[in-house]
């Protein structure tokens, strides 16, 4: 009898007690109806939830050993927690990741696997539409396109972490020694054959979103710092241009002084205080901005050099 191929499903969890069972049942139903020729393991990563999420996960894992749970000692963030799960996945193919709130529809998994069977090693979901505020959608789209234009390799537009990865892709991702991995960038960097499938990113039905503006900004900056040095070059070029303009401005002022005092015999006038203060604040602002950019890169280097673990695992359930 031919051994069934194993599909690993990864779901990060933080205070999702209202959604865990729905996510578990949705995935289980797909493999019981549409994907009966495949085995699967559903790996949940509990990021130190403060509600009853871990209790729900224990109850499910007790009755279904295809469900595995990694319990983190504290909240390490969804990105690091999910990547740690990826390192523990044993499947021939990995779905990275299915959100517990089902905003990324599990019903798309059969279409992902079909493309994988056709020979694609990476199948990524393209968020064609998003059920969220238009301003946030606009900012996301602009960010994705900026990252793509800055990167040395092609990162798909509007693609999140909802992706299917062949085992060979996962094996290569394990080689990256990244303390704060920007996973969608790492996946694109591997360069394997890929294809996208469009879908509608749904609105959360239960509970409140756990992400916040700070977390989104932090993830966005990490994506920029991880895969491009363009901001540093912009800072360098801007500093050079401002220096040239300052020299030209000084030369013009000297010329005007010579014309007014030597040729026309006029007394030199004292420059306006408001203009001086405005100029000082403008250039100080530019300097602080570029110091901040440099600080982001130094901070990323500092975190990487210290070589801490991606996450600290407190407990594993249903792992051999």
Give the C-alpha distances (Å, rounded to integers) separating 40 from 61, 93, 133: 14, 10, 35
Instruction: Give the position of tokens 């600290």.
Output: 312
pLDDT at 273 over 60: no
pLDDT tens digits, residue range 23-73?
Answer: 999 999 999 999 999 999 999 999 989 999 999 999 999 999 999 999 999
Residue 268: pLDDT band by 50, 70, 90 thresholds?
low
Instruction: Give the position of tokens 């224990």.
Output: 58
pTM (predicted TM-score): 0.75
- Average pLDDT of every residue of the chain: 81
Lowest pLDDT segment from 58-62, 107-111, 224-228? 224-228
Q: How remote is the C-alpha of 52 from its chain's centroid?
A: 27
pLDDT tens digits, residue range 293-311?
Answer: 777 777 767 666 667 778 8
- pLDDT score recorded for residue 272: 53
Other beta carbons less than 10 A from residue 123's beta carbon: 26
Helix (H) or strand (E) holding 274: helix 273-306
What is the Cα gyration radius of the chain?
A: 26
- pLDDT score recorded for residue 208: 67
Residues 260/268, Cβ–Cβ less than 8 Å: yes
- pLDDT score recorded for residue 223: 61
Over residues 224-240, the mean pLDDT reads 68
Nearest of 123, 85, 106 to residue 32 by alpha carbon: 106
For residue 38, the SS3 value is strand
Residue 209: pLDDT band by 50, 70, 90 thresholds?
low
Residues 152/102, Cβ–Cβ less than 8 Å: no
Over residues 246-269, the mean pLDDT reads 68
For residue 166, the SS3 value is strand
Quick one: 138 exposed, middle or buried, by C-beta within 10 A (0-12, 13-18, 19+)? exposed
Give the count of alpha carbons within 13 A of 317, CB side only: 24
pLDDT at 180 over 60: yes
- pLDDT score recorded for residue 265: 62
């Amino acid at each position: 009898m031919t051994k069934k191929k194993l599909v690993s499903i990864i779901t990060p969890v933080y205070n999702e007690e209202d959604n865990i069972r729905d996510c578990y049942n949705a995935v289980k139903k797909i493999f019981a109806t549409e994907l009966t020729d495949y085995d699967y393991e559903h790996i949940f990563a509990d990021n130190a939830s403060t509600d009853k999420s871990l209790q729900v996960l224990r109850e499910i894992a007790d009755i279904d050993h295809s469900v595995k749970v990694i319990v983190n000692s504290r909240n390490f963030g969804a990105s690091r927690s999910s990547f740690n799960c990826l390192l523990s996945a044993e499947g021939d193919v990995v779905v990275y990741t299915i959100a517990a709130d089902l905003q990324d529809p599990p019903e798309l998994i059969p279409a992902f696997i079909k493309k994988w069977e056709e020979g694609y090693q990476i199948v990524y979901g393209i968020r064609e539409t998003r059920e969220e505020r238009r301003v946030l959608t606009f900012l996301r789209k602009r960010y994705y396109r900026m990252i793509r234009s800055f990167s040395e390799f092609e990162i798909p537009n509007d693609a999140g972490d909802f992706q299917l990865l062949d085992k060979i892709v996962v094996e290569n991702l394990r080689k990256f020694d990244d303390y704060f991995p920007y996973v969608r960038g790492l996946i694109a960097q591997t360069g394997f054959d890929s294809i996208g499938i469009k879908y509608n990113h749904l609105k959360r039905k239960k509970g409140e979103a756990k992400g916040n503006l700070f977390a989104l900004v932090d993830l966005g900056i990490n994506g920029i710092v991880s895969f491009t040095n363009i901001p540093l070059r912009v800072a360098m070029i801007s500093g050079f241009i401002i220096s040239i303009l300052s020299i030209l401005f000084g030369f013009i002022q000297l010329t005007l002084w010579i014309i007014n005092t030597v040729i026309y015999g006029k007394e030199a006038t004292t420059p306006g205080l408001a203009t001086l203060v405005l100029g000082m604040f403008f250039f100080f602002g530019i300097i602080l901005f570029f110091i901040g950019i440099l600080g982001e890169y130094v901070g990323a280097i500092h975190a990487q050099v210290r070589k801490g673990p991606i996450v600290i695992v407190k407990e594993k359930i249903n792992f051999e």
